[in-house]
């Protein structure tokens, strides 16, 4: 088999890149380790920056999102029983869109099928080769046979645990990591959201987030110990704990119901540099991870896809490789600013096991500063709706 761009990973990065390239007349093959049903059942992100919304339109898949997504002009920050609002629209003239990652992925798969572009699921042992030559290729096992895919470039869109990042030699690769001493226990329930806008809550018992997917589907999270397992938490225990962490008036309104998904995610900040090695280009979680506070994971993946798709278009259409040469530097400049925001917002909203009385006072002062200071709110709103590409 031969293609122009071999895309490893059929998550949102790989699919969005494939769709943008397809519309520019550039051929791709997506190699995905899992079945399509498995990929589509992963409940993850749900808040899209304007940049990602625009990319969905550019990829020709914005129609259902426009119809079913919810525009949010602001968000609520709670501190104990006190609550204030960050008005994105007033502060930045922009907003975010609530539309689940599962829906983004579904729309992209359907568009890819309709375009007749090749996606191979259940690929095992995917391995890129000869990345430092002009003729790289990828081998993989599928249906009991070894296959070879020749290509011009390999896009490593294979998430944090994928094999592509490991192909960058260790003497070249630098990895920066911070782990957080807690996780998020998340519950999806077929109940109306407690609020029209997200509530990020700092409470003496730890962080909580009230989020949603649509008018009848809610996503709630609470900060939990890393040693916890979802089975330790019955639905009743989860709802009781959530109610204790959000303002009393929201707790009274909260409609509870059986969880249809319950999982724990550890929190991590991670960046791999560079994001390019020879003819390999990393995108999304393959190169960087943010803690989910502020909903930047999927959005940062999208900004990589923006830079890489434009660089590849320049290469194929204008024979200009400057975008590819500068890809890593350009993408990383935005990623580090987003890493900073996600780290800052996580530090502001969580209770840390080793937090001293001084640390706590500083956190409270920072929350009060954000509540009272318009410049601080504007800085937060600009990052939340998404820094420009």
Ligand X SMILES: Cc1cc2nc3c(=O)[nH]c(=O)nc-3n(C[C@H](O)[C@H](O)[C@H](O)COP(=O)(O)OP(=O)(O)OC[C@H]3O[C@@H](n4cnc5c(N)ncnc54)[C@H](O)[C@@H]3O)c2cc1C
Binding residues for ligand X (CB under 6 A):
8-14, 31-34, 39, 44-46, 101, 123, 126, 157-159, 161-163, 263, 265, 284-285, 292, 295-299, 301
In terms of CB distance, is 284 or 318 closer to ligand X?
Answer: 284
3-state secondary structure the chain: CECCEEEECCCHHHHHHHHHHHHCCCCEEEECCCCHHHHHHCCCCCEECHHHHHHHHHCCCCHHHHHHCEEECEEEEEECCEEEEEEHHHHHCCCEEECCHHHHHHHHHHHHHHCCCEEECCCEEEEEECCCCCCCEEEEEECCEEEEEECCEEEECCCCCCCCHHHCCCCCCEEEEEEEEEEEEEEEECCCCCCCCCEEEEECCEEEEEEEEECCEEEEEEEECCCCCHHHCCHHHHHHHHHHHCCHHHHHHCCCCCEEEEEEEEEEEEEEECCEECCEEECHHHCEECCCCCCCHHHHHHHHHHHHHHHHHHHHHHCCCHHHHHHHHHHHHHHHHHHHHHHHHHHHHCCCCCCCHHHHHHHHHHHHHHHHCHHHHHHHHHHHHCCCC
Indicate if 296 belongs to the active site. Answer: yes
In terms of CB distance, is 38 or 369 closer to ligand X?
Answer: 38
Catalytic residue selected from 180, 220, 292, 350: 292
Q: Shortest approach of ligand X to residue 176 CB, angstroms?
A: 17
Q: Shortest approach of ligand X to residue 31 CB, angstroms?
A: 5
In terms of CB distance, is 176 or 369 closer to ligand X?
Answer: 176
Contact predicate 289/160, CB 8 Å: yes
Catalytic residue selected from 296, 306, 313, 350: 296
Residues contacting residue 90 through CB under 8 Å, at least 6 positions apart: none
Residues contacting residue 266 through CB under 8 Å, at least 6 positions apart: 179, 180, 183, 226
Indicate if 147 belongs to the active site. Answer: no
Indicate if 200 belongs to the active site. Answer: yes
Q: Shortest approach of ligand X to residue 330 CB, angstroms?
A: 17
Contact predicate 50/96, CB 8 Å: yes
Q: Shortest approach of ligand X to residue 48 CB, angstroms?
A: 9
In terms of CB distance, is 78 or 209 closer to ligand X?
Answer: 209
In terms of CB distance, is 6 or 78 closer to ligand X?
Answer: 6
Q: Shortest approach of ligand X to residue 141 CB, angstroms?
A: 10
Q: Shortest approach of ligand X to residue 264 CB, angstroms?
A: 8
Catalytic residue selected from 109, 307, 327, 384: 384
In terms of CB distance, is 130 or 371 closer to ligand X?
Answer: 130
In terms of CB distance, is 188 or 295 closer to ligand X?
Answer: 295
Catalytically active residues are 72, 200, 292, 296, 384
């Amino acid at each position: 088999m031969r293609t122009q761009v071999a895309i490893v990973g059929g998550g949102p990065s790989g699919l969005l890149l494939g769709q943008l390239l397809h519309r520019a007349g550039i051929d791709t093959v997506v190699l995905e380790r899992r079945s399509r049903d498995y990929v589509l059942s992963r409940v993850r992100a749900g808040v899209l920056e304007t940049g990602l919304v625009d990319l969905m339109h550019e990829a020709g898949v914005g129609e259902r999102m426009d119809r079913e997504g919810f525009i949010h002009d602001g968000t609520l920050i709670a501190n104990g029983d006190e609550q204030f609002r960050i008005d994105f629209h007033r502060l930045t003239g922009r907003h975010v869109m609530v539309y689940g990652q599962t829906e983004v992925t579904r729309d992209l798969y359907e568009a890819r099928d309709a375009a007749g572009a090749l996606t191979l699921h259940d690929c095992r042992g995917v391995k890129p080769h000869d990345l430092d030559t002009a003729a790289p290729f990828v081998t993989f096992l599928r249906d009991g046979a070894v296959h070879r895919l020749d290509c011009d470039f390999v896009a490593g869109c294979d998430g944090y645990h994928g094999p592509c990042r490991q192909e960058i030699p260790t003497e070249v690769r630098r990895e920066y990591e911070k782990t957080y001493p807690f996780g998020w226990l998340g519950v999806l329930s077929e109940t109306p959201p407690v609020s029209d806008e997200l509530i990020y809550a700092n409470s003496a018992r730890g962080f909580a987030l009230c989020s949603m997917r649509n008018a009848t589907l809610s996503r709630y999270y609470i900060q939990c110990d890393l040693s916890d397992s979802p089975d330790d938490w019955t639905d009743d225990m989860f709802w009781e704990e959530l109610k204790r962490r959000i303002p009393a008036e929201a707790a009274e309104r909260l409609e509870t119901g059986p969880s249809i998904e319950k999982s724990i995610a550890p929190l991590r900040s991670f960046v791999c540099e560079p994001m390019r090695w020879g003819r390999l280009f990393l995108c999304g979680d393959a190169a960087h991870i943010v803690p989910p506070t502020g909903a930047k994971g999927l959005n940062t993946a999208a900004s990589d896809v923006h830079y890489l798709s434009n660089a590849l278009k320049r290469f194929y259409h204008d024979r200009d490789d400057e975008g590819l040469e500068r890809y890593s530097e350009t993408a990383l400049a935005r990623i580090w600013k987003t890493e900073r925001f996600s780290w800052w917002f996580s530090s502001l909203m969580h209770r840390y096991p080793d937090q001293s009385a001084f640390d706590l006072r500083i956190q409270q002062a920072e929350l009060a500063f954000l509540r009272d200071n318009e410049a601080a709110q504007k800085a937060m709103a600009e990052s939340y709706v998404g820094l420009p590409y």
